[in-house]
Structure 1
Amino acid sequence: MATATESQTRTLISQVQLDRPIARTVYWVAFWTLIVLFALVFLFPLYWMATGGLKSSKEIIQTPPTVVPHQIHPSNYSAAWHDANLGKLILNTLLYAFGALGFQLVFDVAAAYAFSKLRPAFGNAVLFAMLASLMIPTTVIALPTYLTANSLPFVHWSLLNTPWAIWLPSVASAFNILLLKRFFDSIPSELLAAAAIDGAGPLRALWSIVLPISRPVLGVVSIFAVVAVWKDFLWPLLVLTDTSRQTVNVGLYQLSVGIPQNVLIAALAIASVPTIVFFLIFQRNIMSGLTAGSMKG
């Protein structure tokens, strides 16, 4: 007789079928075949990029292409680091990414907390308008945003070629606000009521109760904020015309016509390392934060 735990677990193949030797063999063969297939699909582009940076200029344009380099040229990576000035470009991108992260953690958390717990007047209408902005393509609002950054209303300051041109537009992240609000909605109101009885105001309750509970979703928002700035291309291309202030994506695009193709691929491989390492370190935070949306109260 199946136990209560087994009866509540629903899978495509029952445990009774898996107990049969033939079914178990077929299951594990199919399972590992799919695992290997998907691993190849996702990892092969990374392998192609890493090995492309090791090929010679002649081999990189050879037809048909070679899967394994005939001769390894590790000097391509050192040339890419110096010729493309990757160190400066990566430092610029890190500055923009973590600056945007700081602003989002302050303003997006405050907005989501207000929508969820403080319930301001016309809050639902404002939230609806913010969510409706998700339906607008980024390229549609690029021009008005650029004109605003070029000459701020009333003060007429130009933010071009400054980190503020990256930081301030990134604060308006309706998706992150929605993600934070959904998590804050799951926090029992009794906790905040008990804090209010003890004399804690809204800011104290946010700092002492809400934020410690919200670490998983804050981790996810942080990852999304950093990755969004790191992979962005169009907006930095418009507002960062000074080559000494460009991001890694824009800098490599500007230099792509002046360096050999194998060196360019090596530069792309180096530029992708920080994001891969970032994902490998925080992959558990991504999954736990996306699934953390309910609490027992």
Structure 2
Amino acid sequence: MADFSPANRTLISSATLARPRGKVIYWTVLSVVLVVFTLVFVGPLYWMVTSGFKSVHEVLHNPPTLVPKDPHPANYKTAWTQLKLARLLWNTFYYAFGALAFQLVFDVTAAYALSKLRPVMGNVVLGAMLATLMIPSAVLIIPQYMTVLDLPLLHLNLINHPWAIWLPTVANGFNIFLLKRFFDSIPDDLMAAAAIDGAGPMRTLVSIVLPMSRPILGVVSIFAVVNVWKDFLWPMLVEPDPAKQPINIGINSLSQGVPQNVLIAALAISALPTLLIFLLFQRNIMSGLTAGSLKG
């Protein structure tokens, strides 16, 4: 017997789904929606990967071909060597995981302080951090560039140095908010028990809070790596040296005179690491985003 209680109400009632016509309509609509959204998201990736196997003439052919008529796998080898993708990938990994290390140290401690130590005017500080999310990133380009051009107090020029990429990513208001929401869900009884055993705030963070926070730490880590990986404008401004550029900027700098099929193959290679990260950790992303949403 169908359950019509308020807790089990959905967009389509159980009685409608129990009828043959209702089942047909439901599964038809669901299948169409899944196919359309799959094509929208997977279509560009498929076009990019397959175009890397095509000749220049076939890439420019209108209408485009769905399957390469005469595949050229050597395009990917040419892209790897001609555009120096190994060096560009190493630079990108270096910048991305350096930014990740700094974010984990500073964002975790900031969120822990706001959540568990509850400093004076902590809510005001949190509100100010969240307010920065309302500022378009393009507005901050000039102030950030002037800052790394002449670092206040120290008067250091950070152009062509990894710190120019790492410093602006350290204080991330969104990541601090996610971490704080998760830390809020950790019972205060555990914190009190640790304090009774003589553990200080730092020992409690390392021994109790961090081991329980692996899901949200995974989400923050993925966000940190992907944000640096996909950034274009800022690295282009602060890393003009071709030997130190990340992969997005390096491909753009070295693309002059490169055939379009080879360039597309290089773009496909550059997109592969972030795609693999998402496919491998998509479950961690979803569990981390929902963790801490319900307390108790």
Deviations 1:137-187 (A, max 9, x none): 111111121121122112212222121111111101111011111111122
Structure 1, 113-122 or 12-21: larger mean CA deviation: 12-21
Query: Structure 1 vs Structure 2: percent identity of aligned residues?
Result: 62
Tell me which residue corresponds to 1:162: 161
Deviations 1:205-258 (A, max 9, x none): 111111111111111111110100000011100111111110010011112223
**1:40 equivalent in alignment to 2:15:** no
Counterpart residue identity of residue 87, structure 1? A
Deviations 1:267-288 (A, max 9, x none): 0011111011000000001100
Q: Distance in 2 between matches of 1:10 and 1:281?
A: 34
Structure 1, 99-108 or 144-153: larger mean CA deviation: 144-153
Tell me which residue corresponds to 1:26: 25
Q: Distance in 1 between matches of 2:79 and 2:276?
A: 20
The structural deviation recorded for 1:68 is: 2.4
The alignment of Structure 1 onto Structure 2 pairs a total of residues equal to 296
Tell me which residue corresponds to 2:243: 244
Counterpart residue identity of residue 14, structure 2? Q
Tell me which residue corresponds to 2:220: 221
Q: Distance in 1 between matches of 2:294 and 2:141?
A: 39
The structural deviation recorded for 1:296 is: 5.1
The structural deviation recorded for 1:81 is: 0.5
Q: CA RMSD in A?
A: 1.6
Counterpart residue identity of residue 66, structure 1? T
* SS of structure 1 residue aligned to 2:154: coil
* SS of structure 2 residue aligned to 1:24: helix
Q: Distance in 2 between matches of 1:280 and 1:9?
A: 32
The structural deviation recorded for 1:124 is: 2.2
Q: Distance in 1 between matches of 2:180 and 2:11?
A: 35
Q: Distance in 2 between matches of 1:127 and 1:296?
A: 20
| Aligned residues of 1:80 and 1:86 also touching (Cα < 8 A) | yes
Tell me which residue corresponds to 1:124: 123
Q: Distance in 1 between matches of 2:64 and 2:256?
A: 21
Tell me which residue corresponds to 2:134: 135
Which structure 2 residues correspond to residues 1-297 of structure 1 after superposition, within 5 A? 1-2=1-2, 8-294=7-293, 297=296
Q: Distance in 2 between matches of 1:55 and 1:79?
A: 13
Structure 1, 264-273 or 11-20: larger mean CA deviation: 11-20
Structure 1, 149-158 or 244-253: larger mean CA deviation: 149-158
> Please, what TM-score do these two structures have when normalized by structure 2?
0.95
Q: Distance in 1 between matches of 2:12 and 2:125?
A: 47
Any stretches of 5+ residues in structure 1 without a counterpart?
A: none
